[in-house]
Amino acid sequence: MAKLSVNNISKSYDNKEIIKDISLEVNDGEIVCLLGVSGVGKTTLFNIISGLSIPDTGRVFLDSKDITGQTGYISYMLQKDLLLPYKTVLDNVSLPLILRGENKKIAGLKASKHFKVFGLDGSQDKYPHQLSGGMRQRAALLRTYLFSQQVALLDEPFSALDAITKRAMHSWYQNVMKKIKLSTLFITHDIDEAITLSNRIYIMAGKPGRIIEELKIEYQKPREEGFILSDEFIRYKKCILNVLHNS
């Protein structure tokens, strides 16, 4: 049974259809990518899945429970880390627990337990401007995880990083996800990133945006540094490019 099920979602704005009849699933502990060019409706779909927007048609289910139009069940990490500059890293990360009604001290203790796993140990009392871009994204991901440990939506989480930092973050991300097993759906327009990180890839295209292909990445995880140069990787990339070219 799928952890997250999105069934036949369609959405229009100002009489213009943005996405049409989209269905997808994320299984427990799985990393699934939503791959497509800018403007195809990926963020519109995320807003619906997270409950920030209501679809014209279709439903969203979490563990078979209908959560359509309801916030608070699924965490959502935007492209920018959105860390509050006047709060310490610990206070930023603890924020979801505090908003849920936890005492600040208890929330801090609970959040601190995860700092080592997320590679943030020693940064608790620092401020966001004192962190590198990669460290800020780690903090943002931990905050997302503490908001909901069921399903996370990540909207191009590594796109703002330079190429070298991004490669390092991909390696780190695979290792931390192996430990926390957070069911994740993430948006990217980076084909290499999608192949490197995903169990499965849904390819979106068209106007209105539709799912035109589902691709399973049959390769061990975490994927080693050399995977991006392997014949298997190139085969997956050619397949995706061919689908996009013919869409």
What is the structure's pLDDT at 38? 86
More confident residue, 8 or 119: 8
Same domain, 68 and 157: yes
Same domain, 69 and 38: yes
Same domain, 100 and 200: no
Same domain, 40 and 123: no
What is the structure's pLDDT at 101? 87
Total count of domains within the chain = 2
More confident residue, 80 or 236: 236
Same domain, 20 and 124: no
223 pLDDT more than 80: yes
Same domain, 235 and 159: yes
Q: Dihedral (C-alpha) 17, 155, 161, 115: value to the nearest 10 degrees?
A: 170
What is the structure's pLDDT at 12? 95
Same domain, 109 and 9: no
pLDDT band at 238 (very low <50, low <70, confident <90, very high): very high
Same domain, 191 and 92: no
What is the structure's pLDDT at 72? 87
Same domain, 140 and 162: no
Give the structural domain span for 219. 4-74+149-245
Same domain, 128 and 23: no
pLDDT, mean of residues 234-243: 95
Here the contacts of 44-50 (C-beta below 8 Å, separation 24 or greater) are: 44/11, 44/18, 44/19, 44/209, 45/6, 45/9, 45/11, 45/19, 45/209, 46/76, 46/153, 46/155, 46/185, 46/187, 48/9, 48/11, 49/4, 49/6, 49/74, 49/153, 49/185, 50/74, 50/76, 50/153
Same domain, 63 and 41: yes
Torsional sign, CA 106, 62, 141, 196: positive
Same domain, 123 and 155: no
pLDDT digits (tens, 9 = 90+) for 95-134: 989 988 889 999 999 999 999 999 899 999 999 999 988 8
What is the structure's pLDDT at 175? 87
* CATH number assigned to the domain comprising residue 59: 3.40.50.300
Integer Cα distance of 139 and 169 in angstroms: 12
Domain closes at, from 147, 163, 185: 147
What is the structure's pLDDT at 188? 92
Amino acid making up residue 80: K
Domain closes at, from 100, 128, 147: 147
What is the structure's pLDDT at 55? 96
166 pLDDT more than 90: no
Domain closes at, from 147, 169, 191: 147
